[in-house]
Amino acid sequence: MYLNLCFLYSVISKLLDPQSAAIVGASPKPGTVGYVLLENLATRFTGRAYPVNPKYDVVELWGRKIKFYKSLLEIEDDIDVAVIATPAPTVPKILEEAGQKGIKAAVVISSGFAEAGNVELENWVKAVAKQYGIRLLGPNCIGVYNAYTNFDTQFLPVERAGRPPPGPIALISQSGAVATAIMDWAARRRLGMGFVVNYGNKADVTEVELLEAFAEDERVKVITMYMEGLKYPGEAKRLLDTVRRIAPKKPIVVYKAGRGSTAAQRAVRSHTAAMAGTYEMYHGLFKQAGAIEASSVREMFDMAKALATQPTPRGPRVLVVTDSGGMGVQAVDALEALGLEVPEVPESIAKELKRELLPFAAVSNPIDVTGSATDEHYKIVLDMLLPTAFFDMALVVTLMQVPGLTKNLAEYIIGAKKYGKPIVAVNFGGSELVQKFEEALEDSGVPTYPTPERAAKALWALYRYSQVRRRL
Amino acid sequence: MTHPIVAKALSEGRNKLREDEALELLRHYGIPTPDFALAHSEEEAVAAAEKIGYPVALKVVSPQIVHKTDVGGVVLNVTTPDGVREACRKIKAITKTVPYAEIEGVLVQKMVPKGVELIVGALYDEIFGHVILFGLGGIYTELYKDVSMRLAPLDEQDAWDMVKEVKAYKLLTGFRGTPPRDIPAVVDIIVKFSRLLEENPEITEADLNPVIALEEGKGAYVVDARIYARQI
C-alpha cells in the first residue's frame, strides 16, 4: 500500500514538476495555442521541450533552430509528460502513442469532449489512458503552471496573462479562466504562487490527488482551491477524508462558487430535504474537513497570504494599534463580528504606556497612538504588549499620511515578528511612501491589507486554522 | 448490516417506515424515544396507556397521511382511560374527511415535558452520500436556514461542532431566563443517528422532528420520526 502511494505521488509529481515535456500540436505560427505552448516550454521552461507536429521539420524561432518531431514515437529521449493540444478527435490516437512510448503523464489542453456533449470521446480517452497507465490531467483545461521550472501549459501569452513569481501558495482551480485571471492578478501584486493547476473535465486526475501532491511538496505552504462543484458519485467523501488528513499539517483555503440552492429541484418529502441545499452540503463538508472557507477569490488570497507567512495564534485575543481612531473602531467591529476578542490592556501596563505615549493617546485597546505619533510609539506598544500573555496576535493600522511616520516604521513592525505571534497591517493610500511601505512589510512577511475588515478576516483565518490544528 | 425493520419494510414494498417501526429502529440504536405502543382497537389503546402511564399522546398511523396534525390525527395530553377512548374515536373519524386513508392503528406515546424543539435529519445524495442536518425545530428553521450539516459518518467532535454552529445554540445554553438544556444528550442522538445511517445505506431521507431537549441532565427524546428508504 505504502509503495503504491509513493508511486502515485511520483506520477502526479511528473505531471506537476516534469524534467522533460513533449508538446503535441506545437506550432511556429504566432497567435495559435500551439505557438504559445511552444514559446512557454522552449524559451522559459528549465527542462527539455520536444515539439511534435508532422507539418514541420526544422524551424528557426527565437533566434535558434527548433526541430519538430513527426510523432511522439520519433523522440528518442525519455519524456515525463505529453502536453496535447490537437483537435479532440485526434487525442485518443496520440495518447496511444504516448503509451507506447512509455510516457506516464499527459496534460490534455484540447476541448471538445464531455463539456461539448462528446461524452463517448472522453470515455475513449479515459480508457486509453487507463490501458497504458497514463495519468491524465484534463481534458479541456489550461493544465499546469509551475513557477519554479516554468513548466507552463497556460496557452495565453505572457503579455496578456501574467505569471506569478514562485512562492508558498498553490492553487487548484476547477475553472481555467478563473485560474488565468488569478495568475495575472497575483503577478501584478508579486504574490508568490509556486503552482497553479486547472483540471478541466477531470476525466482522470482529480482535486483529491492534486491536494495529496501539494501536501507532499515542501515548497507549498498553503493550498487554495477554487471549486464550482463535484461531479462523481461518492466523491465528497474522498474529498472530506483527504482534506481532513492534510489540513492539520497544511492549511487549505477554499472558495466555492455557485451558492444557489438547488433544494427546490429535489423531490422534497422531508423538512431536512427542504433545507438541505447543495451549497449547504459543501459548507458542511468544508467545516467538517477543516478547510477554511472564503467567500470570494480575493478573500481566499487575503487569507492565504496570512496563512503562508504567520504562525498560528494561541487564542482569539487581538491587540489593535492604530494612528486613527476611526480605523481602530472599524477594526474592533470587524474583529468582534468574526468572534475574535479585543480585550482591554491590564491597568498596570496601561499606566506605563500612558507615560511613554503622547498625553492624548488612548491606551486601552484599540491603542490609538494618534495622528501625531512617531515610529517609536508603535515600537513601544508592540514591545510592551505583544510579548505578554494578554494578546495572541496584532492588527496594526498605519495610515502613513500623518507627518511623524516614516518608512522605518516597517522595520519596527517586522521586528515584532520575533515575539512569534501573528501580525497583520492595514495600510491605505496611493502615495509612493504608502506603496514602498507596503512592499517593505509584505517582502518581510507581514501581510498588508487596505481595510480593517480584510485584515480582520485574515486574522480570523489564522485563528480558525489554530482550531483545525488542535484537532490533530 | 441493514436492520431487519428496514429490510422488512422494503421487502413488503414500502418505502416509508411506519411510525412505530421508525421509533423502534431508533431505539435499537440507543436513541431515546418516549415509551410507545401500537394499538389496533380502543381497548388495546387503553391497555397501552395504562402500561405506559399518563399523560399520553395518541397519533394516527396511516401510510396515506403525511401531516398527521393537519387532519386531526394527533390528540395530546390524554390523562384518563375515557380520554383514550374518546381520542381513538376522534382519530377513527378522520376517514370521513380523508376517505382514501387506511388507518393501520393508533400510536400511544408517553407525553414528553416541554423543552426546546430541535430537528435532526438526514438525506442521501449521490455525490455526498448521507448528509446529516441539525437545527432548531419549527417554522423558523426553514425560514432562516439556521442549520448545520455534516457528512456521515461523523464523530463526536463533529456532532458537537454542528450543534454549536447554529445561531439557535443560545437557546440550548439558556437564554433570557430559560434553563440550560441537556446538550450532551442531543450530541449523543446525532452520533447514534450517524451510526444508524451508516448501517442502513437504504435510507434516503429522515426527519427526527421534533427532538425535544429537556433541562440539563434530563435527556433528549425523539418524539416523531419519518424515515424513507429504497432498495439498493
- Chain B residue closest in CA terms to A232: B127
Strand partners, B229: B203
- Give which of B149, B162, B170, B193 to mutate to test A binding, by max A Cβ within 10 Å: B149
- Inform me whether the C-beta atom of residue A284 falls under 8 Å from chain B C-beta atoms: yes
Cα→Cα distances A168→A148, A223, A224, A441, Å: 11, 9, 11, 17
Cα A234 to Cα A287, B128, B130, B217, distances in angstroms: 18, 6, 10, 39
| 8 A C-beta contact, residue A243 and residue A287 | no
Q: Do B142 and A275 touch (CB under 8 A)?
A: yes
Q: Are B105 and B61 in contact (CB under 8 A)?
A: yes
Nearest CA to A232 out of A201, A187, A197, A193 is that of A201
Nearest CA in chain B to A467: B161
Q: In chain A, which residue's Cα lies nearest the Cα of B166?
A: A284
Are the folds of A2-220 and A312-470 the same?
yes
**Among B133, B209, B226, whose Cβ lies nearest the Cβ of A276?**
B133
Beta-carbon separation of A270 and B127 below 8 A: no
pLDDT one-digit tens code per residue, A180-234: 999 999 999 889 999 999 999 999 999 999 999 999 999 999 999 999 999 899 9
The verdict on a CB contact (< 8 Å) between A271 and B131 is no
Confirm or reject contact between A130 and chain B (CB < 8 A): no
Cα–Cα–Cα angle for A107, A113, A118, nearest 5°?
155
Chain B interface, mutation test: which of A270, A281, A286, most B Cβ atoms within 10 Å?
A270
The dihedral built from the CA positions of residue B86, B88, B94 and B95, taken in this order, carries a sign that is negative
> Going by C-beta distance under 8 Å and a sequence separation of 6 or more, which residues neighbour residue A12?
A105, A135, A205, A209, A210, A212, A213
- Domain spanning A2-220 has what CATH number? 3.40.50.720
pLDDT tens by residue, B169-194: 999 999 888 899 999 999 999 999 99
Taking only the tens place, the pLDDT of each residue in B108-166 is: 999 999 999 999 999 999 999 999 999 988 767 777 778 999 999 999 999 999 999 99
pTM above 0.90, yes or no: yes
Q: What does each C-alpha distance from B194 to A93, A374, B131, B204, B222 come to in angstroms? A: 48, 59, 9, 13, 15
Rg (CA), chain B: 18
Closest CA relative to residue A95, chosen from A87, A120, A76, A103: A103
Find the length of chain B: 232
- For residue A351, the distance in angstroms to the closest alpha carbon of chain B comes to 38
Strands A448-449 and B36-39: unpaired
- For the domain spanning A312-470, the CATH number is 3.40.50.261
Q: Which fold has domain B116-229?
A: D-amino Acid Aminotransferase; Chain A, domain 1 (3.30.470)
Looking at domain B35-110, what is its CATH homologous superfamily?
Answer: ATP-grasp fold, A domain (3.30.1490.20)
Q: Is the pLDDT of residue A3 over 70?
A: no
B116-229: same fold as B35-110?
no
* Prediction ipTM score: 0.91
A276 contacts in chain B (CB < 8 Å): 121, 123, 131, 133, 147, 149
Burial of B97 (0-12, 13-18, 19+ CB in 10 A): exposed
Question: What's the rounded mean pLDDT across residues A122-126?
Answer: 97
pLDDT digits (tens, 9 = 90+) for A254-287: 999 988 755 444 555 667 777 767 888 999 999 9
> Do residues B182 and B172 touch, judged by C-beta distance below 8 A?
no
DSSP string, A50-70: EEE-TT-SEEEETTEEEEPBS
Q: Which residue of B has its CA nearest to A234?
A: B127
CB B119 within 8 A of CB B63: no
Q: Which of B128, B206, B209 sits opposite A281 (nearest CB)?
A: B128
From A270, which residue of chain B is nearest by alpha-carbon distance? B207
Set of cell numbers at residue A302: 487575503
Contact A231 B127 (CB under 8 A): yes
What does the domain layout of chain B look like in residue ranges? Answer: 35-110, 116-229
- Please provide the distance, in angstroms rounded to a whole number, between the alpha carbons at the two ends of chain B: 13
A472 pLDDT band, cuts 50/70/90, is: low
Report the residue of chain B nearest A277, measured CA to CA: B145
Quote the distance between the C-alpha of residue A63 and its chain's center: 36
Interface contact flag, A288 B154, Cβ < 8 Å: yes
Looking at residues A381-406, what average pLDDT do you find?
Answer: 95
Find the largest Cα–Cα distance for chain B.
52
Domain positions in chain A are 2-220, 312-470
Q: What integer is the mean pLDDT of A12-19?
A: 94
Inter-chain CB proximity A269 and B205 less than 8 Å:
yes
Cell reading at B221:
427524546
